[in-house]
C-alpha cells in the first residue's frame, strides 16, 4: 500500500494537516520507537532512504522529513557519504518477560492480553489523535492487502495492536505490549497459519480488526473494548480449538 495516497483525520471538522507532514510524523514515530526499543543499536547505521521509503511505503521526501526531525532531536546523526547513524546512548528496553516454554505459557499470555488490551482500545477511542488513528489504519490496510493475497502479516498484526496501546496515551500499556512482542509473535504466527486452513478464516479476522478500528475511529469506547475482547478471545480459541488448559496448576 502506498501511504502517500491515503489520509485520515477526525470526523469533527478539524482541518487536516498536509498529507506529507502527517506521513512524516508517522515515519518519525516508528523510527524513534524502534531506536528507543533497541531495535537499532547505538552507532548503528540506519537503512538508506530508499529502503526506509519501501519499508514504510512512503516517498523519499517523507523519509527525509522524518530523519530531519530525528536529527534535530539528537537521536541520529548524519555522516557525509555514509548515511544516518543512531546517537549514543540509547534507552534500553525497560523490562522483559521469560521466554515462552509451554502451551500453558502461551495461554497465560492470551489471558494477560485480555486484561489490558480491551482497556487500551477503549482509551484509544477517546484519546487518539489524527496521527495515532492514521497509524492504526495503516496497519489495518497492510493486513487487508495481505488478506487479499491470502496471506497473514504477523508484523502488521502486532503493529496494529501496538499502535492502539500507543493511542491510549498511557505508557504502561505500550511498555507491556513491547515487552510481550516475542511472546505475542508466537501466538500470531501459529494463529495466522491456522487461518489459512479454514475457509474464510483470514477474512473473518480482518473483519475483527476492522471492527476495532471502526469503533476507535468513531470514538466509541465501549464498542472498542468489546471488539478487542472478542478478537483476542476468538484468536485464542481458534488457535487452541477451544481446548484450554487448567491454568490453576503451577506446572
pLDDT tens-place string over residues 120-141: 999 999 999 999 999 999 999 9
Inform me whether the pLDDT recorded for 12 exceeds 70: no
pLDDT tens-place string over residues 186-212: 888 877 777 767 777 889 999 999 999
The pLDDT value recorded for residue 128 is: 95
Inform me whether the pLDDT recorded for 224 exceeds 60: yes
The pLDDT value recorded for residue 166 is: 95
The pLDDT value recorded for residue 251 is: 53
Confidence of residue 91 (pLDDT cuts 50, 70, 90): low
The pLDDT value recorded for residue 196 is: 67
On whether the CB atoms of residues 152 and 40 are closer than 8 A, the answer is: no
Inform me whether the pLDDT recorded for 175 exceeds 80: yes
Mean pLDDT of all residues in the chain?
A: 85
Provide the CB-side half-sphere exposure for 42 (13 A, CA): 6
Whether the CA torsion 16, 20, 21, 22 is positive or negative: it is: positive
* CA proximity to 131, closest of 69, 60, 207, 205: 69
SS3 of the chain: the string is CCHHHCCCCCCCCCCCCCHHHHHHHHHHHHHHHHHHCCCCCCCCECCCHHHHHHHHCCCHHHHHHHHHHHHHCCCEEEECCCEEEECCCCCCCCCCCCCCCCHHHHHHHHHHHHHHHHHHHHHHHHHCCHHHHHHHHHHHHHHHHHHHCCCCCHHHHHHHHHHHHHHCCCHHHHHHHHHCHHHHHHHHHHHHHHHCCCCCHHHHHHHHHHHHHHHHHCCCHHHHHHHHHHHHHHHHHHHHCCCCCCCCCCC
Q: Looking at the whole model, is its pTM more than 0.85? A: no
pLDDT tens-place string over residues 149-165: 888 888 889 999 999 99
The pLDDT value recorded for residue 205 is: 92
pLDDT tens-place string over residues 232-241: 999 998 888 8
Amino acid at each position: 500500500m502506498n501511504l502517500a495516497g491515503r489520509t485520515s483525520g477526525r470526523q469533527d471538522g478539524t482541518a487536516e494537516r498536509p498529507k506529507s507532514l502527517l506521513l512524516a510524523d508517522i515515519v518519525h514515530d516508528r523510527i524513534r520507537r524502534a531506536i528507543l526499543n533497541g531495535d537499532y543499536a547505538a552507532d548503528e547505521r540506519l537503512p538508506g532512504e530508499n529502503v526506509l521509503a519501501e519499508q514504510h511505503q512512503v516517498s523519499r521526501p517523507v523519509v527525509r522529513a522524518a530523519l530531519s526531525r530525528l536529527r534535530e532531536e539528537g537521536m541520529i546523526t548524519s555522516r557525509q557519504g555514509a548515511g544516518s547513524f543512531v546517537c549514543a546512548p540509547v534507552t534500553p528496553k525497560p523490562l522483559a518477560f521469560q521466554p515462552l516454554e509451554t502451551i500453558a505459557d502461551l495461554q497465560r499470555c492470551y489471558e494477560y492480553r485480555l486484561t489490558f488490551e480491551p482497556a487500551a482500545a477503549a482509551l484509544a477511542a477517546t484519546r487518539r489523535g489524527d496521527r495515532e488513528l492514521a497509524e492504526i489504519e495503516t496497519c489495518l490496510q497492510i493486513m487487508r492487502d495481505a488478506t487479499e493475497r491470502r496471506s497473514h502479516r504477523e508484523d502488521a498484526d502486532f503493529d496494529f495492536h501496538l499502535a492502539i496501546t500507543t493511542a491510549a496515551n498511557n505508557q504502561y500499556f505500550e511498555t507491556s505490549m513491547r515487552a510481550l512482542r516475542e511472546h505475542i509473535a508466537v501466538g500470531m504466527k501459529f494463529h495466522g497459519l491456522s487461518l489459512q486452513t479454514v475457509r474464510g478464516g483470514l477474512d473473518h479476522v480482518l473483519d475483527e480488526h476492522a471492527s476495532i478500528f471502526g469503533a476507535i475511529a468513531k470514538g466509541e469506547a465501549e464498542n472498542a473494548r468489546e471488539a478487542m475482547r472478542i478478537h483476542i478471545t476468538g484468536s485464542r480459541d481458534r488457535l487452541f480449538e477451544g481446548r484450554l488448559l487448567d491454568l490453576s496448576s503451577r506446572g
